[in-house]
Amino acid sequence: MSASELHAIVGLGNPGAEYERTRHNAGFWFVDQLADAARTPFRAESKFHGQLARIKLAGHDVLLLKPGTYMNRSGQAVQALAQFYKLAPTSILVAHDELDLPAGTVRLKSGGGHGGHNGLRDIHKALGESYLRLRIGIGHPGDKSLVLNYVLGRPSRDDDVAIHDALISASAAVETWLSRGWERALTELHTAKK
């Protein structure tokens, strides 16, 4: 997969101050971190149903999008962005919270199922399944009946630190992808010290 194929990174989350620090907003945290590092603010873009920032990352122009729709309508924003900029699904990286990975673990993935994630399920309807993912581990509460309150709750202090450290590693891996290739980025991220 070539670096020139990455044109947009979409962070998934729910809009509003009440959701800002909840686990389900881990995708927002990632794109916020990238925008902050580039000293570039997000601006409301109604045609994309969210907030957009344009940054340079490892010398490449990359769009950052935070959908302003709620999680289960994320596909609306992603589809609008893809249609406007004529982006192939394989040029879009979607950063999202991942129950099946422990807090502090991040993984890049190409294509696949939605794993029951409502944001990914809606993006699947809009784009199919060939888009790229950055899976941000938030851990699992241990019981399926507890998942809703868990993802809409705040991480513990230790988990919060672990997640944010992992997002720094993820940023470095995306830069590696853009400068040295996808396979190198996978190796760097997936063999990082635990």
Sign (positive or negative) of CA dihedral 181, 27, 40, 43 = positive
From the candidates 24, 49, 96, 124, give the one annotated as an active-site residue: 24
Return the closest-CA partner of residue 166 out of 131, 133, 132, 192: 192
114 annotated active-site: no
60 residue type, one letter = H
What are 77's two structure tokens?
A: 């924003």
Q: Which residues contact 178 (CB under 8 A, 6 or more apart)?
A: 3, 6, 57, 58, 59, 60
Calpha distance 43→27 (Å, rounded): 17
Kindly write down the DSSP assignment for every residue of 111-164, as one continuous string: S---TT-HHHHHHHHHH-S-SEEEEEE----SSGGGHHHHHTSPPPHHHHHHHH
For the chain, the 3-state helix, strand and coil shares in percent, each to the nearest 5, are 50, 20, 30
Residues with catalytic function: 24
